[in-house]
Amino acid sequence: MKDAITLLRESGAMLEGHFLLSSGRHSDRYFQCARLFQFPRRAEEALAPVAERIRADIAAGKLVLDAVAGPAMGGVIAAYELGRQLGLPAFFTERDEAGAMSLRRGFTVERGQRILIAEDVVTTGKSSGESARVLEALGAEIAALACVVDRRAAGIALPWPLYAAAAVQAGSWDAGNCELCRRGLPAVKPGSRRL
């Protein structure tokens, strides 16, 4: 079995350059997990170790899950694949016409339902947090977060346990303090969120 980094590289999903991230930060690396997810077997293989660790924690009584939810766009396939591997229902949150994260398309949650949020990449946890607030407002409880790539900078904490297929160090700067901007390199915004 190949590790997630190898699968990302083989899929052309790990890009280098100057990127404007969905969080508003700038980076020298971008993970376009859609390129990994276009190959169902690679998506399965990348997330299998994550599902295995989650199953182990469920068996040990450390975690209880009822469903998986992913913030659109990047979390849709990750949620589906983890839901499939864990035998849980999977759905997604998405932005409404005003740009606010919401639960649509007839998806519902029940009070006390324990949710695993699934993402492709976690940088600041902003999308996960937006999804969590929507689901919690409807009565759900967020039990954990899972992702393919954890690229958080040191000091960025999350309020839930994190299950990541890979942890990767990447440059990450505030827009006003970006080393790549100072060098005059143009930034590319490959993500789906409007800033």
> Residue 172 and residue 195: Cα distance in Å, rounded?
17
> Residue 36 and residue 41: Cα distance in Å, rounded?
9
> Residue 30 and residue 20: Cα distance in Å, rounded?
9
Amino acid 171: pLDDT: 87
Amino acid 153: pLDDT: 79
Amino acid 191: pLDDT: 66
> Residue 133 and residue 53: Cα distance in Å, rounded?
25
> Residue type at 49?
P
Q: Which residues of the chain have pLDDT under 70?
A: 191-195
> Residue 137 and residue 141: Cα distance in Å, rounded?
9
Size of the chain, expressed as the number of residues it contains: 195
> Residue 25 and residue 176: Cα distance in Å, rounded?
9
Amino acid 194: pLDDT: 57
The per-residue pLDDT for range 118-171, each reduced to its tens digit, is 999 998 888 999 999 999 999 999 999 999 999 887 888 999 999 999 999 888
Please provide the DSSP assignment of 6-38 as one string. Answer: HHHHHTT-EEEEEEE-TTS-EEEEEE-HHHHHT
End-to-end CA distance of the chain: 38
**Contact between residue 147 and residue 120 where contact means Cβ atoms under 8 Å apart:** yes
Any idea where the domains of the chain sit in the sequence? 4-179
Q: Classify domain 4-179 by CATH architecture.
A: 3-Layer(aba) Sandwich (3.40)
Cα Rg of the chain, angstroms: 16
Q: What three-state secondary structure class fits 146?
A: strand
Q: Is the whole-model pTM more than 0.85?
A: yes
Amino acid 104: pLDDT: 93
> Residue 195 and residue 6: Cα distance in Å, rounded?
31
